[in-house]
A and B are shown apart, each in its own frame.
Chain A
């Protein structure tokens, strides 16, 4: 029996029907906005307002507890002439690029392993997620002890294992300090990749692998020509989000090195906080934070275009 569209259509409101709260709420437009309302209000209050206020502040010479003066792009011009700013740009790019590559490679490996059937798989899955589950503030305290210049457990093991004679200064040496932060960020962020990519892997039909195997495809070929194309959209989205989050990383760096030694690990967020909060230069602090906006905007636009195309 054919079902005409008329049977699925909602009954048209009767002329002269009484307008009650229920009938108003039943209207799709009203109900939709009602459901959207809290979310929109939340975003307006806690995302849009701070964002636009931040832009406004960055265009002002605004000191703490004092009225501001509009200065246009003067704060950004000042930053462009500050050698430390360019050091912060380099630090941030190195930090984001290296951690992203490591997290991507590690997360993909983690997902591929977790996608296999083996005894104790659930336990392994749960334990691999621990870095992501433990609050950053708490795990950073543990890393503080692991990397502690004086009491490092890693140094203790290396020295007592006879591998080195004296311990490394993990946070005192500029290169090692950046390396240490990259390791900690990778440790914390990899499960995000792992779990998301695992979700992608689980959507791949086993028929595809079987067909490839029958065609004589090797393990590498199966990965390159079956796995990778299917999880590519997830891979791109998770990388984009991770890059955006890593650009804004604050707690870990602030707690472990506070940007030191000699600014070697300062990134936009930590430097912005120091200038805005410690120096009381709110306008300049906002300008530092917004200086990464163009890079992030390109990423966001890229992500949006990609998602639309897909």
Chain B
């Protein structure tokens, strides 16, 4: 070594080689993180964290960390991740979030196409929730359906042996049940799911709509909406507890399992918990599709999905994990662990053995055909999210139940929606 300069050059080169060399050689990440809202079905989360993740690590050497966010908190977490462009690579999404975070999400069309080819095709009605500008921005693993959950024994006591098929018949049954001390309990407060879960379908079933397909023309001020509001007021007064106006998503579960109510609108979590903790209640609990109105039968869509953030250091590795997870060998076991709480949007699961252990979950599968996103038929835009976040529809119905006039509550909702959708 002739000079000090040569010595420094050589040393710097060696250090750089030692630092960068191995990183290039092992390009695959050592770990990745999946963040999701914790499932109401604990075995579903446990199976992912304790069975699937270790299996994948054994297979590829990549550790998959599972980060569970408390129920109702995922949107805030996702906002933080997207704004800071850091944190977990794979995130759970729902409602219309892929539209909100479009610019932060990787196009997963290739993975979706492969899954569709193997165990599809995908149900058409899930596209508005996850396909943004013709690109798949999330991969749904199942719908969290919102159906009628009711006590078969108490319905039988008042002579109703089959769950009513339309809203008026349900109202008639509810009147009898309330007189018997078994009121209904449908959420009308500021929760995040069980309120929208029946109020949007109620509006649609009477022919009412928030906004037209163009996402600009507000349609809420209509005779159809007025009929839905009038029905809701009667339904509330004649069948329910006053408390429902303040209920959030936990209240109806507690009230049903506390034997305070005979019917509510909920996911299958009530029965799942009843089977585990209240077997006597579980024996007399069943599910039914939402009743139909003059213009049909509807259900709300809540497509539980995975999306991949653009800040992910190795998008190819994350996609590979999603491909593996959505392979029937894994997906079937995982969905079965979730006790059919999630109804998949894939044709292969139409008549799948996962539905066999508990036929009472079958209506959740059947409801997929009539599910729509909250602002349907309007586009799943930012405006739709604003309407949901401001509880425009929920409060329209709740105010009517409280005693405000139909005309007033619709006028207030229309004014809010016009502002939100910036309609002329």
A residues sitting closer than 8 Å to B (CB atoms) are 63-66, 78, 81-84, 148-151, 169-174, 177, 257-263, 274-275, 277-281
Contact = CB atoms under 8 A, between A and B. Distances in A.
A277 B245 contact: no
Given A65-B103, A150-B254, A174-B402, A169 B75 contact: no
Contact-size category for B: 35 or more
Interface in B370-409: 382, 385-386, 388-391, 395, 398-399, 402
B247 interface: yes
Nearest to B100: A280
Q: Per DSSP, are chain A's interface residues mostly helix, strand or loop, or mixed?
A: loop
Contacts of A275: 386, 389-390
Given A149-B244, A261-B398, 14 more contacts: A64-B82, A64-B100, A65-B82, A78-B419, A149-B242, A150-B258, A169-B245, A171-B243, A172-B245, A177-B246, A258-B191, A260-B189, A261-B189, A280-B385
A260 B260 contact: no
A30 to B, nearest CB: 36
Contacts of B103: 65-66
Interface of B: 75-76, 79, 82-83, 100-104, 188-191, 241-248, 251, 254-255, 258, 260, 382, 385-386, 388-391, 395, 398-399, 402, 412, 415-416, 419
B133 to A, nearest CB: 14
Contacts of B389: 274-275, 278-279
Nearest to B247: A149
A84 B75 CA distance: 23
Contacts of B241: 149-150, 169, 172
B189 A257 contact: yes
B251 A263 contact: no
A175 to B, nearest CB: 11
A257 B242 CA distance: 14
A82 B387 CA distance: 13
23 contacts: A65-B101, A83-B415, A83-B416, A84-B390, A84-B416, A149-B244, A151-B254, A171-B243, A172-B241, A172-B245, A172-B246, A174-B402, A257-B246, A259-B391, A260-B391, A261-B402, A262-B399, A263-B395, A275-B386, A278-B388, A279-B382, A280-B385, A280-B386
CB-based closest 6 A-B pairs: A149-B243, A278-B389, A171-B246, A279-B389, A258-B190, A260-B190
A274 to B, nearest CB: 5
Nearest to B420: A279
Nearest to B411: A83
Contacts of A148: 251, 254
Contacts of A149: 241-244, 246-247, 251
Contacts of A259: 190, 391
